[in-house]
Amino acid sequence: MHSYGYRANGVLSLSLTILALLCTVASLSGGILNLPPPSAQVEVVNINWFQKHRSGNDEVSLTLNISANLESLFTWNTKQIFVFLAAEYETPKNSLNQVSIWDGIIPSIEQAKFRINTINKYRLADQGNNLRGREFNLTLHWHVMPRTGKMFADKIVMTGYRMPHEYV
Amino acid sequence: MGWIGETVDSIKSIQIRQVLSQAVSLGMIVTSALIIWKALMCITGSESPVVVVLSGSMEPGFKRGDILFLHMSKDPIRAGEIVVFNVDGREIPIVHRVIKVHERQDTGEVDVLTKGDNNYGDDRLLYAHGQLWLQRHHIMGRAVGFLPYVGWVTIIMTEKPLIKYVLIGALGLLVITSKD
């Protein structure tokens, strides 16, 4: 009745239940720190070049100033935040184009307030040649990756950017 | 040694009725596991609701041996989501992040480009020869939840089958010899 097997089984299942419970509680809790909500500013400092690529697609190279404060997203269940900047626009061909042009991983709250100056890390190329004079949004997306539990994402949309009317 | 002797005795003392009831309870365990798995498939809409991360291409977010819970809804695919996709000619699905989305105006079809957070370049090298974009039908689900380390159990079992057989044997013996 009270063999070692039973005791081991009992201890194991109890500890697994408690662990699962703690993980659930950890993933549900959060937002305890009272910090200002996320904020972001992006400035297009320069259009380095803008041309029609050999493949026939418009492609542009930008220099950007990105500053953001994502400190309030960190809780004790946050492993890291994946943050990326996407150019988003509509063309006659596509109802939505989302092109990630910069991304980064924020491993701790100390690095959650940042300001960087960078050229686009990934190619900003259209499917076609619809970029001249095109209005576009720059959206800062973040994906919060937990130590355990549910992942969540949100974004800040910044509007009113426009491509040059001629290739440069 | 007493434990082994006890076990042998209990095997000897098994009655037909007891064998039957144990077979039934074993069957219950197996079928309820199957029911849970199939129910998860229904709820999440994904043909494999849980996947184990096998490579380090998404580190430090996901490490080898972590478990991901997938969900496949009708919602359109958007940049930033972590998706699980199949490439023609590759057996094992890949878990990577979407970095580009182009959604067609007339048909609503999407072209998607992915990249592993820990990889230097995008995934075009992993795709089938000449393939530039993933389409909707390549994508099996998107990752919504995360549980660390648990997947090591399956990784160890697939790489060291001996441990699997020993474990199954021990569990089976435990079920057979249990008296309740």
Whether B141 and B110 map to the same domain: the answer is yes
For residue B180, pLDDT over 80 is answered with: no
Cβ contact B146–A86 (<8 Å): no
Same domain, B63 and B124: yes
Provide the pLDDT for residue A97.
93
Q: Is residue B8 part of a domain?
A: no
**A27: pLDDT strictly greater than 80:** no
Alpha-carbon distances, residue B37 vs A26, A101, B32, B85, B88 (angstroms) = 25, 39, 9, 20, 26
Q: Tell me: do B104 and B62 sit in the same domain.
A: yes
The residue with tokens 């365990």 is B29
B19 shares a domain with B95: no
- Evaluate the omega torsion of the peptide bond into residue A146 and state whether it is cis, within 30 degrees of 0: no
Q: Please check whether residue A79 touches B, CB under 8 A.
A: yes
Q: Would residue B123 count as lying in a domain?
A: yes
Q: What separation in angstroms does the CA of A33 have from each of A36, A37, A74? A: 10, 11, 8
Task: Mark yes or no for CB contact B6/A93 under 8 Å.
Answer: no
Q: What is the mean pLDDT of chain B?
A: 86
- Judge if ipTM > 0.90: no
- CA atoms of A145 and A77, how far apart (whole Å): 9
Mean pLDDT of B130-158: 88
| pLDDT at residue B91, rounded to an integer | 83
Q: For residues A118 and A103, give the distance between their C-alpha atoms in angstroms, rounded to a whole number.
A: 11
Number of domains in chain B: 3
Chain A contacts of B3, Cβ < 8 Å?
A: 3-4
Query: Over chain A, what is the mean pLDDT?
Result: 88
Interface membership of B38 toward A (CB under 8 Å)? no
Which of B103, B122, B146 is nearest residue A96 as measured by Cβ atoms? Answer: B103
Is residue B145 domain-shared with residue B66, that is, in the same domain? Answer: yes
- How far apart are the CA of B118 and the nearest CA of chain A, in angstroms? 10
Q: What is the mean pLDDT of residues B153-161?
A: 87
| B31 pLDDT more than 90 | yes
Q: Which pLDDT tens digit goes with each residue over B94-125?
A: 999 999 999 998 888 899 999 998 888 888 88
Lowest mean pLDDT among A109-113, A146-150, B99-103: A146-150
User: Residue B49 above 80 pLDDT?
Assistant: yes
pLDDT at residue number A24 = 83
pLDDT at site B72: 85
- Within-domain flag for B2: no
CA of residue B86 relative to chain centroid, distance: 14
Give the domain extent around B28.
Answer: 15-44
The answer to whether residue B9 is domain-embedded is no
Q: Higher-confidence residue: B14 or A128?
A: A128
B115 and B73 part of one domain: yes
pLDDT at B177: 72
Residues B143, B178, single domain; the answer is no
Distance of CA B9 to the CA centre of its chain: 40
With respect to residue B4, please indicate whether it lies within any of the assigned structural domains: no
Q: pLDDT, tens digit, for every residue of A30-74?
A: 655 567 788 999 999 999 999 988 888 999 999 999 999 998 888
Residue B12 has pLDDT above 70, yes or no: no
In a domain, B79, yes or no: yes
pLDDT of residue B1: 56
pLDDT confidence of residue A1? 57
Residues in Cβ contact with B165 at an 8 Å cutoff, skipping those fewer than 6 apart: none
pLDDT at position A49 is 92
Query: Which residues face A154 on adjacent strands?
Result: A142
Q: Which one is catalytic: B123, B129, B137, B180?
A: B123
**Cα–Cα distance measured from residue B89 to residue B94, given in angstroms and rounded to the nearest whole number:** 13
Residue A146 has pLDDT above 70, yes or no: yes
Whether residue A18 has pLDDT greater than 90: yes
Q: Does B174 sit within 8 Å of A92, measured CB to CB?
A: no
Q: Which two tokens stand for residue A89?
A: 């626009």
* B147 or A101, which is more confident: A101
Q: Is B143 found in the same domain as B88?
A: yes
Q: With a cut of 90, say whether residue A87 has pLDDT above it.
A: yes
The arithmetic mean of pLDDT across residues B39-55, rounded, is 85
Among chain B residues, the shortest Cα distance to A81 is held by: B61
The answer to whether the CB of B45 falls within 8 A of the CB of B72 is: yes
- In chain A, the percentage of residues whose pLDDT exceeds 70 is 96
B156 and B134 within one domain: no
Give catalytic status of residue B138 as yes or no: no
Do B68 and B115 reside in the same domain of the chain?
yes
CATH value at residue B84: 2.10.109.10
**Does residue B92 share a domain with residue B35?**
no
Instruction: Give the residue-averaged pLDDT of A127-139.
Output: 90
Identify the pLDDT of residue A33.
59
**Is residue B5 assigned to a domain?**
no
Q: Is residue B105 part of a domain?
A: yes
Active site residue B9: no
Do B95 and B143 sit in the same domain of this protein? yes
- Cβ atoms within 10 Å of A110's Cβ, excluding its own: 9
Q: Cβ-count burial of A26 within 10 angstroms (0-12 exposed, 13-18 middle, 19+ buried)? A: middle
Catalytic annotation present for B57: yes
